[in-house]
């Protein structure tokens, strides 16, 4: 199926923006060793090296850009409208967000221009809780490796609608129950280090119903932050990341070491994001991607 996106949308920047750890480009146009005939049988667009895979819940999407605003996608129209359109936050105009940045702020203007195409993904809150617990003091490649090991060991295999046998099995993110039942040694084997007790605490609290991630959608930002921070190892930054990338709370602007450097060196210690209200987290993401990519701060 083909879809049109008439707004900022850059798959490479989205995948490299530090907000998601499972999506990414699929090597060799489809995947190493997969013929275009096999790809077609799996309902995957083929032939273009810029092919990307996204996973959310039980859904897998293969997507590539075919023309300026046209994309080939591997899902039905109904699935696109109900799953992937919200996932990519396509009801928000990101060009308008960039236009709201005052010309008198050259740093933000440059960061937004450089990062054009990034969108804040609406990801699964449970996955974000575990992902950003893991993210502490780890590089993005190391985070990806640990998450994929968790999925391989504890996630169930997803049905991708006729996927050819040569294509590697795709596994769902593990359920809270699966991780709650895992031993510390089993989790340690996924290169989680000191984060193992944090993950065990999160999994047990959610599997037992002590914390219900779905119920947090209806909480105020303050209450949601309070509940998230009751999980062992979840502090202000991680909780804000979960709010932004898991709950679509785009007023949340997490402060990590890169953002702290920007605040201190460019803005004399005064954060610039809250002035953008509900778009604060989007502007923060522009700055994060720019700072990490340029490494000039």
Residues 201-259: tens digit of each pLDDT: 999 999 999 999 999 999 999 999 999 999 999 999 999 999 999 999 999 999 999 99
Within this chain, do residues 70 and 99 fall inside the same structural domain, yes or no?
no
Within this chain, do residues 143 and 201 fall inside the same structural domain, yes or no?
yes
Average pLDDT rounded to a whole number, residues 62-67: 90
Side-chain half-sphere CA neighbours of 281 within 13 A:
22
User: Terminal CA-to-CA distance of the chain, rounded, Å?
Assistant: 42
| Position 242 in a domain | no
| Position 216 in a domain | yes
Within this chain, do residues 210 and 294 fall inside the same structural domain, yes or no?
no
Q: How many domains does the chain have?
A: 3
- How much is the pLDDT for 159? 76
- How much is the pLDDT for 35? 39
Within this chain, do residues 259 and 216 fall inside the same structural domain, yes or no?
no
Locate 201 and state its tokens: 């605490």
Position 36 pLDDT exceeds 50 = no
Domain that holds residue 71: 2-91
Within this chain, do residues 274 and 259 fall inside the same structural domain, yes or no?
yes
| Position 288 in a domain | yes
Within this chain, do residues 131 and 203 fall inside the same structural domain, yes or no?
yes
Within this chain, do residues 204 and 141 fall inside the same structural domain, yes or no?
yes
Within this chain, do residues 115 and 130 fall inside the same structural domain, yes or no?
no
Active site amino acids? 237
Average pLDDT rounded to a whole number, residues 115-120: 98
Q: What angle do CA 177, 178, 183 make, to 5 degrees?
A: 110
Position 27 pLDDT exceeds 70 = no
| Position 78 in a domain | yes
- How much is the pLDDT for 183? 97
């Amino acid at each position: 199926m083909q879809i049109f996106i008439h707004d900022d949308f850059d798959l490479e920047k989205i995948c490299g923006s530090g907000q998601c750890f499972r999506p990414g480009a699929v090597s060799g146009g489809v995947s190493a060793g997969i013929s275009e005939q096999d790809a077609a049988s799996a309902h995957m667009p083929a032939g273009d090296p810029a092919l990307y895979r996204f996973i959310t819940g039980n859904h897998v999407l293969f997507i590539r850009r075919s023309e300026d605003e046209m994309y080939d996608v591997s899902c039905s129209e109904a699935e696109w409208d109900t799953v992937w359109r919200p996932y990519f936050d396509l009801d928000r105009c990101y060009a308008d967000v960039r236009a709201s940045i005052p010309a008198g702020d050259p740093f933000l203007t440059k960061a937004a221009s450089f990062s054009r195409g990034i969108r804040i993904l609406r990801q699964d809150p449970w996955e974000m809780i575990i992902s950003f617990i893991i993210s502490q003091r780890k590089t993005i490649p190391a985070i990806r490796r640990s998450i994929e090991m968790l999925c391989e060991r504890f996630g169930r295999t997803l049905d991708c609608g006729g996927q050819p046998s040569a294509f590697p099995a795709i596994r769902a993110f593990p359920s809270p129950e699966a991780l709650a039942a895992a031993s510390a040694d089993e989790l340690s084997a996924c290169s989680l280090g000191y984060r193992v007790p944090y993950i065990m605490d999160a999994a047990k609290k959610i599997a037992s119903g002590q914390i219900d991630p779905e119920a947090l959608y209806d909480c105020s930002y303050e209450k949601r932050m309070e509940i998230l921070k009751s999980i062992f190892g979840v502090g202000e930054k991680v909780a804000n990341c979960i709010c932004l990338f898991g709950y679509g709370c785009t007023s949340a602007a997490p402060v990590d070491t890169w953002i702290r450097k920007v605040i201190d060196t460019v803005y004399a210690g005064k954060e610039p994001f809250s002035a953008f209200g509900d778009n604060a987290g989007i502007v923060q993401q522009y700055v994060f991607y720019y700072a990490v990519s340029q490494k000039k701060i």
